[in-house]
A = this chain, B = another copy of it.
Amino acid sequence: MMKQARTLLSRSLCDQSKSLFQERVKASTLRGFASWSSSSTPGRGSYDAPKPGGRLFAPYSIFKGKAALSVEPVLPSFTEIDSGNLRIDRRGSLMMTFMPAIGERKYDWEKKQKFALSPTEVGSLISMGSKDSSEFFHDPSMKSSNAGQVRKSLSIKPHADGSGYFISLSVNNSILKTNDYFVVPVTKAEFAVMKTAFSFALPHIMGWNRLTGQGNTEAPPPMNVTHLKTDPQLELEWDK
C-alpha cells in the first residue's frame, strides 16, 4: 500500500512535469550536430549503435518532491596525435543535472545546475557501502585568480535506516550572490540502478571500450589527469 501510494504520487509528478517539459523541447537548442544516419529506424528498438553526427538522449531520471535528478554519461573525445593514432583529449563523465520543483509537481528546467562526475568520483560512488558518505568539490575557476568565487559541492549521505541516500548539490556563487541547493532522496533500488549503470559506463567514459592496444607500440606519455577540476570536460557543467 505504501509502495502503491508512492507510485501514484510519482505518476502524477510525471504527468505534470511531462507537459511542462514538452513545451520546452522545441525551444531547447541542440547545437553542432548535422544529421543522424538514416540506417537505423527511429521508433523501433533496434540494436545497432548510434552513428556519429546524431545524438541519443536516454537519461536516468529520479523525480522527487523538492527536486529532480537526471544522470547521463558523456563520452570522451579524442584527438589525432600521429599518423592515424588517437589520444584521449577530454575525459568523459557522468553528468548529473538537478532541477528544482517550482510548485507542486513542476520542475524548472531553466534553473537547472549540473555536476560532472569524473572517473575517480564515479569510482568513489560505486564503491560506497550502505553506511558510507561521499562529498566532491568542483571549482570552475580553480586555475585562475577567481578561484573560490564559484563553488559546487555534491554530497551523498545515507539514510539513517539504510534504506537509501540523500544526494544534494550546493552551488555557491559569490559574484552573483546566489546560493542554490537541491536535495533528492534516492531509494536503495534507485541507487542500485546508478551503481550498475555507472559501472557499465565507467570504462566507456575512460575510453577503454575503444582501445585496440597493440602491444608493440610505445605509448606516448599520459596527458589526462584524474582529479583535474579545470579541464574542458568539467567546465561543461557551467553551460546552462
Residues of A at the B interface (CB closer than 8 Å) are: 3-4, 6-8, 10-11, 13-15, 17-18, 21-22, 24-25, 28-37, 40-63, 68, 70, 72-90, 92-93, 95, 97, 99, 109, 119-124, 126-127, 135-137, 139, 142-143, 187-194, 196-197, 199-204, 206-230, 233, 236, 239
Contacts and interface: CB of A to CB of B under 8 A. Distances in A.
A60 B215 contact: no
Pick the 8 closest A-B CB pairs, nearest first: A36-B84, A58-B207, A124-B189, A123-B193, A46-B52, A127-B192, A123-B192, A45-B75
Given A43-B77, A201-B208, A229-B7, A84 B33 contact: yes
Given A52-B46, A74-B213, A77-B215, A120 B193 contact: yes
A73 B208 contact: yes
Contact of A226 (B24, B34, B61, B229): B61
B119 A17 contact: no
Contacts of A227: 6-7, 10-11
Nearest to A76: B45
Count of this chain's copies in the oligomeric assembly: 4
17 contacts: A6-B227, A11-B143, A11-B230, A30-B220, A35-B84, A45-B92, A46-B212, A54-B86, A55-B85, A57-B81, A60-B119, A72-B211, A95-B219, A120-B189, A124-B188, A197-B208, A204-B211
Contacts of A59: 219, 222, 224
